[in-house]
């Protein structure tokens, strides 16, 4: 497990570069953390670090559940916050996405942990007072 303690969003972006280097193509990443912890902020930095053109910046896909970056797609950013049932999960065609070979970042993935690939990374962001955060990267593969 890797662990970082950061004091600002700027420092989170720097940590994202280190994390990006550890996550190879095909990596499935569960992004876990409370509302406003910084999951989407971290995603933006990861996509940039992988050199993927994100056109308009990556916005929290609250209504669009799946965002695709790159042509062909190199990063999928999925937000399961509003998803409620396994049926909805399967309806999104996520299983194909997990096997696509692209990197896949899943916000609120823990809601459907049993349905995610067992071989995955978990990035957890925890509030640590103000703008401080504790960030951990666990390799479950
Ligand atoms: N150390 C930090 N790391 C990341 N974001 C930070 C940090 N300090 C402050 N912030 C701010 O906290 C907010 C995090 O919002 P963000 O949308 O990334 O969170 P989220 O975890 O994706 O939330 P949600 O669960 O609603 O999707 C941003 O406004 C960001 O600027
Ligand atoms: Mg978010």
pLDDT in tens, 68-79: 998 888 999 999
Per-residue confidence (pLDDT) for residue 73, from 0 to 100 = 87
**18-51 burial: b if 16+ Cβ within 10 Å, else e:** ebbeebeeebbbbbbbeeebbbbbbbbbbbbbbe
Give me 40's structure tokens.
């989407």
How far is the C-alpha of 85 from the C-alpha of 43, rounded, in Å?
25
Ligand 1 atom at shortest distance from the alpha carbon of 108: 25
CB-ligand 1 contact for 41 (6 Å cutoff): yes
What CATH code is assigned to 2-139? 3.40.50.300
Q: Which ligand is nearest to the CA of 35?
A: 1
Per-residue confidence (pLDDT) for residue 119, from 0 to 100 = 96
Atom 24, ligand 1: residue with shortest CA distance = 35
CB-ligand 1 contact for 107 (6 Å cutoff): yes
Q: 56 pLDDT band (50/70/90 cuts)?
A: low
**SS3 label, residue 21:** helix
CB-ligand 1 contact for 58 (6 Å cutoff): no
Does residue 47 register a pLDDT over 90? yes
Q: What is the pLDDT of residues 37-46, one digit of tens each?
A: 999 999 999 9
Q: What is the pLDDT of residues 93-133, one digit of tens each?
A: 899 999 999 999 999 999 999 999 999 999 999 999 999 99
Q: Which ligand is nearest to the CA of 34?
A: 1
Q: What is the 3-state secondary structure (H, E, C) of 51-114?
A: CCCCCCCCCCCCCCCEEEECCCCCEEEEECCCCCCHHHHHHCCHHHHHCCCCEEEEECHHHHHH
Ligand 2 mean position to 36 CA, how many Å?
Answer: 7
Does residue 53 register a pLDDT over 90? no
Nearest residue to 20 via CA among 50, 44, 42, 41: 50
Strands 103-107 and 133-139, sheet pairing: unpaired
Any idea where the domains of the chain sit in the sequence?
2-139
The residue ranking higher by pLDDT, 70 or 33, is: 33
Residue labelled with tokens 């916000």? 107
8 Å CB contact between 39 and 110: no
Q: 58 pLDDT band (50/70/90 cuts)?
A: low
């Amino acid at each position: 497990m890797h662990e970082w303690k950061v004091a600002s969003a700027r420092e989170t972006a720097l940590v994202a570069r280190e994390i990006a280097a550890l996550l190879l193509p095909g990596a499935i990443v569960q992004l876990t953390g409370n509302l406003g912890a910084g999951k989407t902020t971290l995603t933006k930095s990861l996509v940039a670090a992988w050199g993927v053109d994100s056109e308009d910046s990556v916005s929290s896909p609250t209504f669009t559940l799946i965002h695709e970056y790159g042509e062909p797609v190199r990063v999928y950013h999925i937000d399961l916050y509003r998803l409620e049932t396994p049926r909805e999960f399967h309806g999104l065609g996520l299983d194909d996405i997990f096997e696509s070979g692209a990197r896949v970042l899943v916000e609120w993935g823990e809601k459907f942990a049993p349905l995610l690939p067992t071989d995955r990374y978990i990035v957890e962001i925890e509030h640590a007072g103000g703008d401080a955060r504790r960030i951990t990267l666990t390799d479950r593969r």
